[in-house]
Amino acid sequence: MSKNANSADKLTTIKFHFYTINFTPYAGKAMSSRDIMHDIITYIMQEKQKGKGYLVDKHKGRPGETARELFMARATFIAAKKRVLCSLALIRAGRLPMLKPAEEYKLIPMPSDIGSMAEETNVFIDYSTSKVVLCIEYNHNGPRLLDVEYYFRSIARDKLRIARVTEAVLHMDVSFEQAIDDLRNVLNIDIKLEPKKLKLLETDLTGQYFTGINSFGNLMAPKFVKVEALFQTPGAAIKSPLNTKANTMVVNLLKRFKKNPDNLKAFDNFVVKYEDKEGNEAIVNLLKGKREIVKEVDLAKIRKSREWYELIEADLDEFIGEL
């Protein structure tokens, strides 16, 4: 077998996904999500400098469920880029650490006084824009988005008393077909366009959905018009009722854009946030698609947060540049 083949055998496919996270501050706290995230990370760093850490059990208060204890294993600021390189660890409670000896098919228990088994997930945070972006490694056995979200919320709510609600939304590379099939309820629509470009849209679509923007453009002659329609209350715990009119409009537009992609030339930005049939929130950006990073990694060589970050830095730069 060639040397290259041996090297290829050592590679593991690692995926990273993008999310935006929003915090709802307590009443009387005039803080943005950026401010809150900065304070959360500052708290984590200060605890680590003291030789301490913050451990939280996501399953606390759930009788009969195994503990799901989380703590921040690593955290490093990159001040110049307003980024944080960190990793969240999940303690595998109740698991006796075992080792498989080389060339033998058996397991040997490790001394329990050494410590506990733990899984680690890399998390990269960017707060250089008005949005707080998370780039999270997908680790089936380790912490996932809901764990990351819970950990940050616990610090913001229980330790710092600055925010009571968090909301993290996955950015997905979704085809028109998938969005049409998965869409259950439209939550937000974010559109930006030059009114003069509406002539690039099929006439019946302009008449059906964009007459108001067209009239406003003719009257006021703005360079751009930005429309953000919210069909849910930000931070609300109660799910919004089905909005059949918005659902019908979005599905109709998706079908027309699929049939004639030239319609999209009328827009500078067209983003739909929706709830899918599984109850998950997702975002489809009709003009920009890359939402997943896939890397082939030699896990024996990549150990430090900086090394993990260097793998995805260019992709993260590109994603931030598209926001």
Q: For 49-97, how does the pLDDT look when each residue is reduced to its tens digit (9 = 90+)? A: 999 999 999 999 888 888 999 999 999 999 899 999 999 999 987 667 7
Q: Is residue 1 part of a domain?
A: no
Residue 145 and residue 77 in one domain = yes
Residue that wins the pLDDT comparison between 7 and 209: 209
Phi, psi (rounded to 5 degrees) for 114: -70, -40
Residue 120 and residue 199 in one domain = no
Average pLDDT of the residues of the chain: 87
User: Mean per-residue pLDDT for 8-16?
Assistant: 85
Residue 264 and residue 306 in one domain = no
4-18, 80-94, 199-213, range with the lowest pLDDT: 4-18
Show contacts of 248-251: CB within 8 Å, 24+ apart: 249/186, 249/209, 250/183, 250/186, 250/189, 250/274, 251/180, 251/183
Q: What is the pLDDT of residues 223-245, one digit of tens each?
A: 999 999 998 765 554 456 788 99
Q: Is residue 195 part of a domain?
A: yes
Q: Is residue 280 part of a domain?
A: yes
Residues 171, 247 contacting (CB under 8 angstroms): no
Q: What is the pLDDT of residues 128-183, one digit of tens each?
A: 999 999 999 989 889 998 899 999 999 999 999 999 888 887 776 667 778 888 89
Residue 309 and residue 248 in one domain = no
Quick one: pLDDT at residue 238?
46
Residue 185 and residue 232 in one domain = yes
Kindly indicate the confidence band of residue 115, based on its pLDDT and cuts at 50, 70 and 90: confident
Residue 214 and residue 100 in one domain = no
Residue 203 and residue 151 in one domain = no
Residue 107 and residue 225 in one domain = no
Residue 207 and residue 278 in one domain = yes
Residue 239 and residue 158 in one domain = no
**Residue ranges making up the domain that contains 303:** 11-173+289-322
How far apart are the C-alpha atoms of 20 and 299, rounded to whole Å?
27
Residue 112 and residue 91 in one domain = yes
Please tell me the pTM assigned to this model. Answer: 0.67
How many domains is the chain built from? Answer: 2
Quick one: pLDDT at residue 1?
43
Residues 38, 128 contacting (CB under 8 angstroms): no
Q: Is residue 3 part of a domain?
A: no
Residue 138 and residue 153 in one domain = yes
Q: Is residue 27 part of a domain?
A: yes
Q: Is residue 2 part of a domain?
A: no
Angle, alpha carbons 159-160-164 (nearest 5°): 95
Q: Is residue 47 part of a domain?
A: yes
